Each structure stands twice: as structure tokens, then as C-alpha cells.
Amino acid sequence: MKKAFITGITGQDGHYLSKLLLEKDYEVHGTIRRSSSINTGRIDPLISKYQNTKQLNLYYSDLLDSSSLNMLINKIQPDETYNLAAQSHVAVSFKNPIFTTQTGTLGPLSLLEAVRNSDKEIKYYQASSSEMYGGQMKGKLNEESLLNPKSPYAAAKVFAHHMTSIYRDSYSLFCSNGILFNHESPHRGETFVTRKITRAASRIKLGLQNKLTLGNLEASRDWGFAGDYVEAMWMMLQHDTPDDWVIATGETYTVRQFLEATFKKLDLNWEEYVQTSDKYLRPNEVEHLLGDPTKAKEELGWEPKTSFDSLVEMMVESDLNLAKREKVLVAEGLLEPTWENPTS
Ligand code: NAP
Ligand code: GDD
């Protein structure tokens, strides 16, 4: 049985990756952070399913606590390590630049050091990001494209990206960077724009919300499905040699187009409900992202399986079900109605 160590297992990708690896009979070890409210919601079904086996194991840790990372790598001796943990919200990285940078730079470096100092050969996956490109190029971005970070988040990702290649080249370690473009799902955090839209539109449909406030509607992103993208992470660590790969769909849509597609699925006219506010504008916007996944297709045999329309459909269906449950709780007086998520 292969062993995988995953940081950030409670996040969107952590959910899909741990599910994939458990289905492949891996023993999965993941780190969770102590929080005043329970943060394992996304993986609770997996925790229940595997509670009587030793296949899923969770540990308190933090990327800033290098001693716990060292201890865990030594104790678990994983075959594969997936570093998914990060303060992953770009807008928040401008508000909390030091935490974002420390987590995004010292975190991966501590983990790389733990891997380097281990007697066992451990493969390492780094969650790199299309944000590193900065979004000024109109053409398709590939592994050779210039990195031009525009936020503390992206700058930290560039550092970790380079350190991953430096450790690969300097110590002959099996370290790979997955340069993933935006990927979404029903498990996407509610403050990222796609999920903010599908959640709000579903609540509007059921009368639980009456408006949606957004920032820049003209930004465009290459949006794929997270379930497809975690397969690429695993494929990278099964490849003969370590390297860097772009994972994307090769199509880009604006926030406005995502809005239109979502509201249309619910027979609503988005213009009646959506307003914009400077509150959601960023100090330095990444305007346009479009990826070229040719290398991943040719070398890993990876291709996206989910279309833009199917992604929107999947997210709307899931959020409509969530809103229906919420409506029942509100009707029974078990939940206070809220009109718009104040932190979104
Ligand atoms: P996510 O849903 O925000 O999950 C982030 C995970 O990191 C959560 O488990 C979070 O724990 C954990 N975390 C945050 N700070 C930490 C710290 N200091 N120490 C330990 N754990 C910490 O992000 P995601 O969408 O799954 O993305 C996974 C990774 O891929 C991230 O590194 C992200 O930057 C990168 N990425 C994402 C995309 C995308 O479009 N989704 C694209 C490119 C790259 P809590 O649950 O306790 O908050
Ligand atoms: N979050 C958010 N909220 N974004 C908004 C809003 C809003 O109300 N209104 C417009 N946008 C625009 C943002 O300005 C940005 O141009 C675009 O929608 C996408 O924003 P997010 O969904 O927050 O994602 P992101 O592209 O900034 O970052 C995500 O993708 C990166 C990969 O390119 C994150 O998952 C990062 O962790 C990831 O690296």
C-alpha cells in the first residue's frame, strides 16, 4: 500500500485528491489546522467511510510549524507528498501579506527540507499557480511563459515554484510543479468568484437573497473542474521523471460570462440582481488567464473531461440543493435568514 502525505487536506483540492488516492488504495495522511470551528466539513464523509480502517489519518500541523512537518515526514515515511496548503485567496493576500508570504514560502521550503533530509526517496508535488503569470499576455500560457506575479500570493507561489525546481536540480529529488489554472467545484470556497455566484444565484432563486455584489466582471479565467485537476497531480508523481506541467482547459471566460451562464440555468436575468462595488476590486488585477495544457496531454496523457457548461451545471445543482435545505431550516426557525454573506 503506497502512502501519501497531503498538506491542506481540508481544502477543495485536498478533498478531491484524498478521495482519489483512497480509491486507489493509498494510505492517506493529511494535516489539519486547529480552528475554533470544525474545518473538516469537506472530508467528513471520507472520515466516516474510513473510520474503522487505518487508511485515512489526520494530524494537527501548520506549514509554519516546521518541527511538526519534520516529525510527520519522519514518522510516516510517505512515498508521495502533496503540498496543497496555502492562504489561497488572492484578494486576502493583499490584506494579510505577511502570513500569506510566510505560509507560501517558508512552508514549502520546510517541507522540501524534510523531504531532502529523509532517508527514504519521497516524491514531492508543489501546488503552483497560473497567478504566477500575472495575466497580461493575451495568448496561451505554457511552461516556458514569463512569470510576472502581481500579488503577495503570486510572489510567494513563484518562490516555492523556483525552490521546487532548485531542489530537483540540486539534490536529484523527485520534485514536480503543477501549474494549475483556476479549478472549481461544488466544494470551492464560497468567497471565490464562481462559487460566490452559484451560491448567490441559487439563494436568489429560492428567495433567500435579493442581490449579489461583485468586483471586476471583465476579468477572464481558464476555469476547469477540480476533480479532473487532482488526477493530473497524481499523474505527475507517477511520471518517469519530475518536471513542471501546465494544467488548464485551453478556454477562457469572463466573470460576466460565468454570471450569465449561472443565472440562465436558473431562468433568472442576472442584470436584475447583480451590482458591483469597489470593495471587491484588487489593488493589482490579473485580467486574463488562458492555459496551454499540450505538454500534460502529450507526456502525462492528461486531458480535462469537464466542459465549462457542465461545471456551471454541477455547481448550480449542488448549490440549489444546499439552498433548499437552508430554506427548510429558515422556515422552521432553526436558522436566521441572511441576505448576503458579509465576508464574501
Ligand atoms: P483551499 O480550498 O483554500 O485550501 C487550502 C488548504 O490549505 C486548506 O486545507 C487550509 O486549511 C490549508 N492551509 C491554509 N493555511 C495553512 C497553513 N498555514 N498551514 C497549513 N495548512 C494551511 O485551496 P484549494 O483550492 O484546495 O487549492 C489547493 C492549493 O492549490 C493551494 O496551494 C492553492 O494556492 C493552489 N492552487 C489552487 C488553484 C485553484 O484554482 N483552486 C489554482 C492553482 C493553485 P483550512 O481548511 O484550515 O483553512
Ligand atoms: N473572489 C472574488 N470575489 N473575485 C471576484 C469578485 C468577487 O466578488 N468579483 C470579481 N472577481 C474577479 C477577481 O477580481 C478575479 O479577477 C476573478 O474574479 C477570479 O477571482 P477568484 O475566484 O478569487 O480567483 P483568482 O483567480 O483570484 O485565484 C484563484 O485561482 C488561482 C489560479 O489562477 C485561487 O484559487 C488561487 O489560489 C489560484 O492560484
- pLDDT per residue over 90-106, tens digit each? 999 999 999 999 999 99
Q: Is 263 exposed, middle or buried, given 0-12, 13-18 or 19+ CB atoms closer than 10 A?
A: buried
Ligand 2, atom 27: nearest CA belongs to which residue? Answer: 90
List residues bridging with 123 in a β-sheet: 80
Which whole number is the average pLDDT over 196-200? 97
Residue 328 three-state SS: helix
- Which pLDDT band, with edges at 50, 70 and 90, does 333 fall under? confident
45-56 pLDDT, tens digit each:
999 999 889 899
Q: Which atom of ligand 1 is nearest to the CA of 157?
A: 34
What is the distance in A from the centroid of ligand 1 to the CA of 11? 5
The domains of the chain are located at: 3-184+224-247
Q: Which atom of ligand 2 is nearest to the CA of 180?
A: 32
Which whole number is the average pLDDT over 202-222? 96
Which whole number is the average pLDDT over 287-298? 98
Does residue 180 register a pLDDT over 70? yes
Query: What whole-number distance in Å separates Cα of residue 195 and Cα of residue 8?
Result: 19
Query: What whole-number distance in Å separates Cα of residue 197 and Cα of residue 214?
Result: 9
For ligand 1, is residue 108 a contact (CB within 6 Å)? no
pTM for the model stands at 0.97
Q: Which three cell numbers stand for residue 24?
A: 486507489
| β-pair type (224-225, 183-184) | parallel
Select which of 16, 153, 167, 229 is catalytic: 153
Predicted local confidence at residue 344, as pLDDT: 62
For ligand 1, is residue 160 a contact (CB within 6 Å)? no
Query: What whole-number distance in Å separates Cα of residue 158 and Cα of residue 163?
Result: 9
Does residue 246 register a pLDDT over 80? yes
Report percent pLDDT > 70 for the chain.
99
Contacts of 87 (CB under 8 A, 6+ apart): 93, 96, 99, 100, 103, 104, 153
Ligand nearest to the CA of 341: 2
CATH superfamily placement of domain 3-184+224-247: NAD(P)-binding Rossmann-like Domain (3.40.50.720)
- Compute the mean pLDDT over every residue in the chain, rounded to the nearest whole number: 96
What is the distance in A from the centroid of ligand 2 to the CA of 275? 17
Q: Which atom of ligand 2 is nearest to the CA of 213?
A: 8
Ligand 2, atom 36: nearest CA belongs to which residue? Answer: 88
